[in-house]
Structures are given as structure tokens and as C-alpha cells.
Amino acid sequence: MRFVDEFREPELIAKATQEIRRLTDSERLYRLMEVCGGHTHAIYRFGLKDLLPPNIELIHGPGCPVCVLPMGRIDDGLSMTDDREVIFTAFGDMMRVPGTHGSPLEYKARGADVRIVYSPADALKLAQANPDRHVMFFAIGFETTAPSTALTLTRARALGIRNFSVFCNHVTIIPAIRAILDSPDMRLDAFIGPGHVSTVIGCRPYEWIARHENKPIVVSGFEPLDMLESIVMLLRQLRDGRAEVENQYKRVVPWEGNRAALKAMAEVFQLRPYFEWRGMGFISQSALRLRDSYADFDAEQRFRIPGIRVTDPKAAQCGEVLKGVLKPAQCKLFGNECTPENPVGALMVSSEGSCAAYYNYEHRKAALTGLTALTMPAQAI
């Protein structure tokens, strides 16, 4: 119960954990997946696992956009810096992510014009300020960031700007959930639905999970109490044999989502037939590209993109960890070849990735108390 002192409402936390124990059938195992990387980070940070009965297993989903981006796409994006007219812009999260020949930051050190922006709107601003250069924005993220890229592009077009383009790597969360559910070794019982993604897409897109896959899903906030309440709601559904979409995060997430944001996305983007996810392979209709009406702003149309494919290292078992078949520490590379400082696999790349979160909180804690060899069998090899 590490972080209980920090909880604002300890008596409510105690009540929720009590209710979780009451609802849990000790004879069975409960496998709950939190889809969002923010939830994964929070679960480790707050030590929520310590509050749950041992037969509730939290499995960390694919909701970390930096993690699931294939290395080949980073290489493709960086290839545009061969053209010295190009200013490569991306969020800070991307800057240390390794490509085959180095990260964006290492390209910068070698002379490429690589700049951090905190908003796609700033990339556009940079294009306006540098009319003799071409500003390329390396867009990543789920539906939390895609509407901002979309609105920026509509503004660029309205302003008649010619020296701005987007290398679009936006992905959508629903097909990734579908891919996990379709996988033969899938063993999930229910989902903790993403919080801020759902402010955009709303709750309706999850209905098929309940209706056709017969799995409960509860859209959840990020407070420890939010997540415990969501688990209570999931356990109640499982106990009653129900499978519904419920919204624990009503105070922030409207059932219909943000219509203006969805409209901006629909105006600018269309679904790609398929897209590669690191650790998961190709998933159909899982990513966005610019519509032909925005071809002038599409970096993939304006530049000769090599279309590099880098196979995930065979020894890294990211896919199995994503599907909940393996825990992070059970991967052969975990903590040895693959660390947050030197990531080999996708899930070690960002602090929202499950392996990095596990490493930063659990592994370091275990190492500090000298229990590494006992608790991390993969480490003993």
C-alpha cells in the first residue's frame, strides 16, 4: 500500500478495495486490460496492484503511441531531412526514439534541422516564419492529438500556406482493441477504457466490444479512486454476466464525444487500409492518412519516402506482453538488453509503455531491496 498516504480520500479508497474483494470470486482469475498508456503509468505510480486481490491481473494495452510506432516510420520521417530545405518538427516525446541510424536528436547533432514543437499549430507558425524553408510535422498520437493536427491542416489550407506538410502517423484505438480480441491467445475478461481519448470519440465506438465480444468495458478517469471504481463496475458486470459499456468518467467524457473534433478529423483524414504497429504487426483500418483534398500537405505525397520496414527484434516479445500472455519481466530481453535507457522493444520506448513503467517502478524497487533474483526469473538467466 505504498502510495495510500497520497490518496485524497483514503476512506473511499478503502471502501472501494473492500468492495473489490467482496466481488471477487477466489476460484477464478480476472484479466482486465487498461487500454491507455496514461492508466498504465498511473497503475504503477500509485501501486494499485498492491490494493487488488492476487487473482485480479491488470494487463497493459497498446495505448502508447510512441511505443507502437514502427522503427521504419521513424526512418522514413528522418529520411526527409536529407533535403536540407526541410525543418523536421515533432513533439518532445519523439526526440529520443531510436531509428535505424539514430534518433531525431542524433540527426540534429549531425546537422539536420530538427526542432521540438509542443503543438502542430507551432509547426505551422514556423512555416509561416520561414517561407524559404519547408516545415514537416511528424504527427503521432491517438484521437487525443489527431483532431489538433486536422484543425491545423484546415487552417494551413485556409491561409494558402505552401511550405508545410504533415507526415501522418496517427492511429486509432478501436482497431487495436479488435486485433487483441481477435488474437487466438487472447485471454481477457474486460477492459478499462481510455479516459482522454474518449473525450474525443465518446463511448459509442466501444459498444461492439460489449455487444459482439461479450466483454464489459468501463471508461475510466485517472485518479486512483477512479480506477478502483472502474474495477468495481467491471467486477459487478462480470458477476452478473452482463457486458455493457459504462462511463465512470462522466464528469469529463460525454457519451457522444467531441463532435467538432470528430468533424475536423473526418474533413482531413481517411482510414488507411492497413498500418503496421510495433509489436502487433499489420492491423487493418487502424491508422489515418490525409485525404486527397489535402495531398499538397501530405509529406508522403510531397517527398520520396523510402517506405522502410524494420522487423521487430525476434527475441523481443512485445506482442505477447501486449496481449497479456507474458508479463513484462518474463520477456527474455527485459532488463538485460532492453531497458528504458536502451530500448529494444516497443514497450520500453516511452514511460507510458508497460515495460518501461514496470521497469521504472517495480524493477528498480525490487533491485533496491535486493530481491531482483527472486522476483524476476528472467533476470537470473
Partner 1 sequence: MCLAIPGKIVELLPERENLALVEVSGVRRKIDVGLLDDDPAKAGDWVLIHVGFAMSKISERDAADQMRILAMLGEDEAAMQEIEGYGLGDSEPRPSEPRPLGSG
Alpha carbons 269 and 184: distance in angstroms, whole number: 31
Least separation in angstroms between residue 238's CB and partner 1 is 26
Least separation in angstroms between residue 314's CB and partner 1 is 24
Alpha carbons 299 and 297: distance in angstroms, whole number: 6
CB 30 within 8 A of CB 36: no
Pairing of strands 281-284, 274-277: antiparallel
**Nearer to partner 1 (CB atom), residue 258 or residue 317:** 258
Partners of 141 in the beta sheet? 170
Least separation in angstroms between residue 153's CB and partner 1 is 12
The set of residues, in sequence order, having a beta carbon less than 8 Å from that of 342 and lying 6+ positions away, is: none
Contact residues: partner 1, CB under 8 A? 3, 6, 8, 36-39, 41-42, 45-46, 63-66, 91-93, 95-97, 105, 115-122, 125-126, 129, 140-142, 144-145, 147-148, 151, 194-197, 199-200, 222-223, 251-252, 254, 258-261, 264, 340, 349-353, 356
CB 213 within 8 A of CB 181: yes
**Nearer to partner 1 (CB atom), residue 105 or residue 243:** 105
Least separation in angstroms between residue 119's CB and partner 1 is 3
Alpha carbons 240 and 287: distance in angstroms, whole number: 36
**Nearer to partner 1 (CB atom), residue 116 or residue 271:** 116
Least separation in angstroms between residue 251's CB and partner 1 is 6
**What is residue 168's three-state secondary structure?**
strand
CB 298 within 8 A of CB 288: no
DSSP for 245-295 reads: EEETTTTT--TT--HHHHHHHHHHEEE-SEEEETTTEEEET-BEEE-GGGG
**Nearer to partner 1 (CB atom), residue 30 or residue 167:** 167
Pairing of strands 56-63, 269-271: unpaired
The dihedral region occupied by 343, where left means phi > 0, alpha psi between -120 and 50, and beta the remainder, is beta
Least separation in angstroms between residue 38's CB and partner 1 is 3
Least separation in angstroms between residue 45's CB and partner 1 is 5
**Nearer to partner 1 (CB atom), residue 173 or residue 234:** 173
**Nearer to partner 1 (CB atom), residue 23 or residue 150:** 150
Q: How many CB atoms lie within 10 A of CB 273?
A: 11
Give the chain's end-to-end CA distance (angstroms, integer).
30
CA 250 to chain centre: 22
Least separation in angstroms between residue 169's CB and partner 1 is 12
Alpha carbons 347 and 336: distance in angstroms, whole number: 14
**Nearer to partner 1 (CB atom), residue 252 or residue 367:** 252
**Nearer to partner 1 (CB atom), residue 93 or residue 320:** 93
DSSP for 16-41 reads: HHHHHHHH--TTS-EEEEEEEHHHHH
- What is the CA angle 53-55-57, rounded to 5? 95
**Nearer to partner 1 (CB atom), residue 31 or residue 196:** 196
Least separation in angstroms between residue 298's CB and partner 1 is 20
* Closest to 35 measured CA to CA, from 232, 221, 191: 191
Least separation in angstroms between residue 64's CB and partner 1 is 8
